Amino acid sequence: MKANADHGFREGLFVSLGFFVSGFNKLRVVTLMWVFLI
């Protein structure tokens, strides 16, 4: 049971990390667009 919970926790960590990275990349793209526009 403990190993299963640990696996789920690790999976959730990777998912949240993926969301953070994709959000950071979008933010960087928007920043680059602003830099080119101004």
The ranges assigned to domains in the chain are: 1-38
What is the token pair recorded at 2? Answer: 């403990």
The Cα 10–Cα 13 span in angstroms is: 5
Three-class SS state of 4: helix
C-alpha separations of 30 from 14, 16, 20 in Å? 24, 21, 15
DSSP character string of 8-30: HHHHHHHHHHHHHHHHHHHHHHH
Model pTM greater than 0.75? no
Per-residue pLDDT of the chain (38 residues; tens, 9 = 90+): 567 777 788 899 999 999 999 999 999 999 999 998 87
